[in-house]
Structure 1
Amino acid sequence: MQTYVTGCAGVLGFEILRHLSEAGHAVTGISRSALPEGAPKLPHVRVSDALHPGWLAPGDAGATIVHCAGLSDARRRFGSIAELAEEVTRPQTDFVEALVARGWRGHFVYLSTAAVYGDTEDLPIPETREPQPKGYYALHKLAVETALLFLAAQHGFRLTLLRLGNPYGTPMPGRERGVMRLLLDALATGAPFTVYGSGETSRDYLHMEDFTAAVEQVVTGPLPGPVTRLNLGAGEGCTLNALIARMEAATGRQLNLVSEPSALEVKSSVLDIARARQVLGWEPRVSLEDGLARMVADYGL
């Protein structure tokens, strides 16, 4: 069965496309932008608007769509919820309604975020935790999740919601956008690195190799029902301060740290991944130590 990966010019979409292609699956990437410079040749269609489903072939009504296109800046602010809905959320839901109007009834895999859970003292966080998003990015993701659940029930397509921790570790130069890449840039240049908040809240870091392996299982393996919600993380946390110490030790360099308060700082977020283990037969294999070592080596420090 054909799989499409929207937003494949971004880090997560590109890594999913590459992994599925190298594993021999029938997959095509869809994006407005070109693939990263220096990337291997991959099946890819460049379009003016990835959220207009004109790229869907008539015979692919049962195709799987791994949807990565959308808002990528988790710190972006909006003037109001209405502005967020009009500019970001509505185009996402319009896209799925347009797919349905074309006769598509396949499997929709949506990349959401662990940030939808918001603050909690109870760790690790299971999928049954009531979402309490704090920022606009998390609010948007949860709103799209809710709309997708409604549309899947109305129209009968399969739906998988993946709530991601903090994926990291792409080997493509300059493509990493997360905190680890920012730390490496600061270590290399000596530029200040800003710690927003205390630096003592934990995050769940999942290596890209483990992330893409999980997505492959979602795309190809049997799932327990028409709607599946899964946490994807390493199942263990690391504070920013501890991550800074590990990066400094791995590179032999010291960061120029600056501290700023943050009203949007979410408490520690560590995911319960027992359901992903059970449903997918999947297990994270790359330790944080090994993942950091790979990043440092790829960066050349």
Structure 2
Amino acid sequence: MRIYVTGCAGILGYEILCRMHAEGHEVTGISRSALPEGAPALPHVQVSDALHPGWLAPGDEGATIVHCAGLSDARRRFDSIAALNREVTEPQTDFVEALLARGWRGHLVYLSTAAVYGDTEDLPIAETREPQPKGYYALHKLSVENALLFLAAQHGFRLTLLRLGNPYGTAMPGRERGVMRLLLDALATGAEFTVYGSGETSRDYLHMDDFTRAVSQVVTRDLPEQITRLNLGAGEGTTLNGLIARMEAATGRSLNLLSKPSDLEVKSSVLDITRVRQLLGWSPQVSLEEGLARMVSDYGL
């Protein structure tokens, strides 16, 4: 079975490509940018536009495509919803329609986000919750989901939507980012780390090893339905204050903390992972303590 991973120069696509290659699958990464310096040799095709499916080889009309290419900056703002659609959403739907025009009818695995659910007091969040996106990134992901649902129903290809929590722990050279990297930088330099608001809202952190193992199982198993939505997370929440305490314990250092009030504090987000456990027999294996210890070791603290 041929597998393509689009956007493999980004963190998630790179990690998936590494996993699938290490497991011996017939996989090719597709990206506009080169893989980072220091990355291992991987089956990769660099193209001018990953959303132009000229890279789909003849005879691969039944291939699985793990689609990571697209908007990755969750903080990017747009002038309007029309601008969002024009600049990033329509190119995504055009891509899939172009695949279909080439005769492709395989399995599309789309990396979405738990941010589509928005704020809720009802935790953990199941896939059945009505999405209420609050930002442009989440709105974009939900819009693409809906377009893919329409196209899958019209054309009969298999579709799996993965709503991902907060992944961490990449092995991609020089690309770790997010709150954990910011904490490590502050611990290493002694710089101030600012906690906005109470620090008591929770996030669902999933180690990259567990994330890529889940994607591998989605790709290689026959799911019972043509269209599947799955939450991917640890299924438990950790507050920022709790994360700070764990990071200080892992490094043996203390942070120089600064607290500031915030009127924009986002509510907690913890995913219900019952469905992915049932369908795949998958569950997270890397505890937060172990994942942080690995990050601290890789960082050199």
Equivalent position of 1:212 in the other structure: 212
* C-alpha deviation, 1:252, in angstroms: 2.0
State whether residues 135 and 264 of structure 1, in contact with CA within 8 Å, keep that contact through their aligned partners in structure 2.
Answer: no
Note if 1:188 corresponds to 2:160: no
Alignment CA distance shift 1:66-1:166 (3 Å): same
Listed as ranges, the matches of 1:1-301 within 5 Å are 1-260=1-260, 265-301=265-301
Distance 2:113 2:261 in 1: 23
What is the DSSP-based 3-state SS (H/G/I as helix, E as strand, rest coil) of the residue aligned with 2:199?
Answer: coil
Q: Which has the larger displacement, 165-174 or 47-56? A: 165-174
What is the DSSP-based 3-state SS (H/G/I as helix, E as strand, rest coil) of the residue aligned with 1:229?
Answer: strand
Distance 1:287 1:196 in 2: 26
Give a deviation string over 1:74-123, Cα, whole Å, max 9, x none.
11111111111111111111111111111111000000001110111111
* C-alpha deviation, 1:255, in angstroms: 2.3
Give a deviation string over 1:206-256, Cα, whole Å, max 9, x none.
111100000000000110110000000000000011101111121122223
Q: Which has the larger displacement, 68-77 or 166-175? A: 166-175
Distance 2:261 2:77 in 1: 17
State whether residues 67 and 109 of structure 1, in contact with CA within 8 Å, keep that contact through their aligned partners in structure 2.
Answer: yes
Q: Which has the larger displacement, 186-195 or 78-87? A: 186-195
* C-alpha deviation, 1:176, in angstroms: 1.1
Distance 1:154 1:102 in 2: 16
Q: Which has the larger displacement, 254-263 or 223-232? A: 254-263
Q: How many residues align?
A: 301
* C-alpha deviation, 1:258, in angstroms: 3.8
Give a deviation string over 1:129-151, Cα, whole Å, max 9, x none.
00001111111110100000001
Distance 1:61 1:248 in 2: 50
State whether residues 164 and 231 of structure 1, in contact with CA within 8 Å, keep that contact through their aligned partners in structure 2.
Answer: yes
Distance 1:155 1:173 in 2: 39
* C-alpha deviation, 1:281, in angstroms: 1.2
State whether residues 2 and 64 of structure 1, in contact with CA within 8 Å, keep that contact through their aligned partners in structure 2.
Answer: yes
- Structure 2 gaps, min length 5: none
Give a deviation string over 1:176-202, Cα, whole Å, max 9, x none.
122211211222223333334332110
Alignment CA distance shift 1:99-1:236 (3 Å): same
One-letter identity of the residue aligned with 2:127: E
Distance 2:36 2:174 in 1: 9
What is the DSSP-based 3-state SS (H/G/I as helix, E as strand, rest coil) of the residue aligned with 2:128?
Answer: coil
Q: Which has the larger displacement, 77-86 or 139-148? A: 77-86
State whether residues 171 and 295 of structure 1, in contact with CA within 8 Å, keep that contact through their aligned partners in structure 2.
Answer: no
Q: Which has the larger displacement, 20-29 or 81-90? A: 81-90
Alignment CA distance shift 1:115-1:190 (3 Å): same
One-letter identity of the residue aligned with 1:290: E
Distance 2:69 2:160 in 1: 16
State whether residues 15 and 172 of structure 2, in contact with CA within 8 Å, keep that contact through their aligned partners in structure 1.
Answer: no
State whether residues 173 and 299 of structure 1, in contact with CA within 8 Å, keep that contact through their aligned partners in structure 2.
Answer: no
Distance 2:97 2:134 in 1: 27
* C-alpha deviation, 1:263, in angstroms: 5.5
Q: Which has the larger displacement, 106-115 or 260-269? A: 260-269
What is the DSSP-based 3-state SS (H/G/I as helix, E as strand, rest coil) of the residue aligned with 2:146?
Answer: helix
- Quick one: percent identity of the two aligned structures? 84
Normalised by the size of structure 2, how large is the TM-score? 0.97
* C-alpha deviation, 1:262, in angstroms: 5.1
Normalised by the size of structure 1, how large is the TM-score? 0.97
What is the DSSP-based 3-state SS (H/G/I as helix, E as strand, rest coil) of the residue aligned with 1:148?
Answer: helix
What is the DSSP-based 3-state SS (H/G/I as helix, E as strand, rest coil) of the residue aligned with 1:241?
Answer: helix
State whether residues 113 and 163 of structure 1, in contact with CA within 8 Å, keep that contact through their aligned partners in structure 2.
Answer: yes
How large is the Cα RMSD of the aligned pairs? 1.3
One-letter identity of the residue aligned with 1:49: D
